[in-house]
Structure 1
Amino acid sequence: MPDENFPLLVFQPVSGPNQEWASVYVHGAELADAAVLERLFEKFGLAEAISGLACLLPAGVVERLDGARLPARLVVQEAGSPPPTATLPASTAHSGPQHTLLLKLLAQITHDAETRDIEATLKHDPQLSVQLLRLVNSVAFSPSTRINSFAHAITLLGRRQLQRWLQLLLYASQTSGGAANPLMAAAALRASLMEGLCKATGGDRTTQDEAFMVGMFSLLEVLFAQPLASIIAPLRLAEEISTALLQHTGKLGILLTLAEAAGGGPEMVAPALKQARISNEIWCKAQIGALHWTTQIGREQ
């Protein structure tokens, strides 16, 4: 059972000069006692979630922690002042042939198209086809497995994982300087957070997938610089998904409102949590899980 006295914590990734995450700031840590904070790193998995990143804590918090009880791999630093309210990075991506192809593939998968039709669409872009084969080879299959067709690769990967990979690829286009689009991490974090919150509140696997999709697609308007309604129209999404994205209604819409509030700190999160009927502890655990997944994905790109 969640602890009713658990403090409201909001984890905000902070980007470095190259637009990649350099640290994670913990809003609300000044209101938590040392025992709760130390529990975050091991029992809740925060140390693993931010592996390689600095954990920034408000002034005066670091002194209250017992360094001997913290994971040795963890880098804890005191932040001189809180970071500014998080803002979404401006997109440097442009709608092009591959984006159009990705949206077509997503529409096919959403509507359970035949594998041969998905394979035919993939063949229109050699680069995308190569990326698919690399992905399949990176997954834990037997080294002796030999892929004999794109249809075989799709079958090995599975449609659920293929769908998520395609969603991420929408944001993974490269900037002119060769750096990854910073919107990708923001979209992945939001999608994973919504999925985790949905699971924690009793959503089945299908609803969790829908929550993930809503979070991922919620930044397409920023990516394409076009109205979201016109971008998702060709996908013919389920009503629950489209109304969540366009109207922020229904269970998925409430979760989207909560995920968006995370950028504004505890003051914005508190009322959104109340509306969603989610405890501070469940919220904390979902954020940590999302941070972990997003950092893993970022290192695999």
Structure 2
Amino acid sequence: MAVQDKSIPFPLVFLQPVADVHYVWTALSLHISPIDGDGGALFSRLFNEFGLKDALGELSCILPVHDPERFFPEFTRPLPAGRVILRIPVEHCVAAVKLASLDRLHAQGFSIIADGLPASASTVYEHIDSLLLESSVGNLPAAADWLQRLRGPHLVENVADPVQFDACRAQGFRWFAGEYPLHPDSRPSQKNAISRARLLKLLELVARDADATEIQALLKQDPGLSYQLFKLVSSAAFGFSAHITNFTQAINLLGRRQLQRWLQLLLYARFPGDEMANPLLPRAAARAALMEALAQRMGYDRSEQDRAFIVGMFSFLDILLSMPLEQIFEPLRLPADIVDALVHRTGPLGVVLDLVERAEFGSKPLRHSDLEAAGLDAETYCECLIQAYRWASLVSSEA
């Protein structure tokens, strides 16, 4: 039985989104620092105790396995066949000595992706169809040959911006991970800018507790917002199963607190006619949900948890709208501590936002000491992370 060594501190767990060519989430890539043994015991706990399987929904999950001969996870519930993908160093995927281990893992229902670029003359294990490459390696001539030889989908990591995203897509990659959502290459279209201007007005109405009739009147001015209202309110992400037929029903069913959340989320939604999903939507949803979950574990009351959610959701608005945060927040008349958290990362909410940004496997690494300073431990953080991504994956699938 796979047993995690309790003498080793619980590692830091990161979930990195993987998107397809339309910016829609297709998988979550798991990263661990440091790793206990070869991860089998830890992965078993994440699926059996922490609810990672439920958090995935219809997404695939990519697990790092350094040595297939030492990887023996044990799951209490069957995993979806083919949707748990093991990223195995390429040297193990071409070595004859590892074939028995790869056969064992394949027979257990795991898919395998080769992590790295094989030598041109090598033969890859027969059940491997995909490569995982760094963006700097993916543009090499040798990579182009392998992308053609294997069926895919091939995954490229550390995609810096939409320009590099398009270049990797042209090379034959179909799955993408990196910071490209945070560096858009164009301003929002005029049509969407008008819709989002109305949405900012709606947020202002809700923030000052305006009458439902006032909110409804503004919603009726924008078919795109109306469409997204009915779509999101009816989604699994909000837990409603009723069929929504009018504005009053939607507003009453949501309630004031959920209406605020829906409006915040809708800032990032795909509008009718958009060919591509907005890659910021699930990122904002995950950040907001993680901030709320961490705030709860840090002892914040319900009101402060809601404020933490707002900070997380609003923290991408400068990227979304290509405007300084100060200009965006001025008409919303947000409390000073929320603005300080968003602009300067100061105050209690700023501390939580800094933690969440470090948890996104970006340029600023999360450390055990960061969690300890906030009164948290790595296991509690991991539970919150998986809870947040469960909701974000629902939002991503419904948006």
TM-score category, normalised to shorter length: 0.7 to 0.9
Given candidates 53, 56, 59, the residue that maps to 1:53 is 59
Equivalent residue, structure 2, for 1:297: 395
Matched AA of 2:205: Q
Secondary structure in 2 matching 1:203? coil
Unaligned runs of 5+ in 1: none
Secondary structure in 2 matching 1:96? helix
* Structure 2: distance between partners of 1:175 and 1:67: 44
Matches within 5 A, 1:1-301: 5-28=9-32, 31-33=35-37, 34-60=40-66, 63-67=69-73, 69=75, 71-73=78-80, 75-79=84-88, 80=115, 83-84=157-158, 86-89=178-181, 90-91=183-184, 93-94=188-189, 96-137=193-234, 140=240, 150-174=247-271, 178-264=275-361, 268-270=365-367, 271-301=369-399
Give 1:260 deviation, angstroms: 1.1
Matched AA of 2:79: A
Give 1:219 deviation, angstroms: 0.4
Secondary structure in 2 matching 1:153? helix
Going from structure 1 to structure 2, the CA distance change for 1:9 and 1:62 (only over 3 Å counts) comes to farther
Contact 2:48 2:75 in 1 (8 A): no
Q: In proportion to residue count, which structure has more helix?
A: 1
* Structure 2: distance between partners of 1:266 and 1:221: 19
Secondary structure in 2 matching 1:44? coil
Unaligned runs of 5+ in 2: 1-5, 89-114, 117-133, 135-156, 160-177
Alpha-carbon RMSD across the aligned residues, in angstroms, is 2.8
> CA deviation digits over 1:17-64, x for unaligned, max 9?
332223222222661353232010121011121233332233426554
Matched AA of 1:256: L
Deviates more, 1:127-136 or 1:208-217: 127-136
Equivalent residue, structure 1, for 2:125: none
Secondary structure in 1 matching 2:12? coil
Equivalent residue, structure 1, for 2:149: none
Secondary structure in 2 matching 1:22? strand
* Structure 2: distance between partners of 1:55 and 1:128: 33
* Structure 2: distance between partners of 1:68 and 1:251: 40
User: How many pairs were matched up?
Assistant: 296
Going from structure 1 to structure 2, the CA distance change for 1:63 and 1:120 (only over 3 Å counts) comes to farther
Deviates more, 1:85-94 or 1:219-228: 85-94
Secondary structure in 2 matching 1:173? coil
Matched AA of 1:191: A
Going from structure 1 to structure 2, the CA distance change for 1:25 and 1:52 (only over 3 Å counts) comes to same
Going from structure 1 to structure 2, the CA distance change for 1:125 and 1:50 (only over 3 Å counts) comes to same
Contact 2:63 2:85 in 1 (8 A): yes
Equivalent residue, structure 1, for 2:128: none
Higher relative contact order (CA 8 A, sep 6+): 1
Equivalent residue, structure 1, for 2:102: none
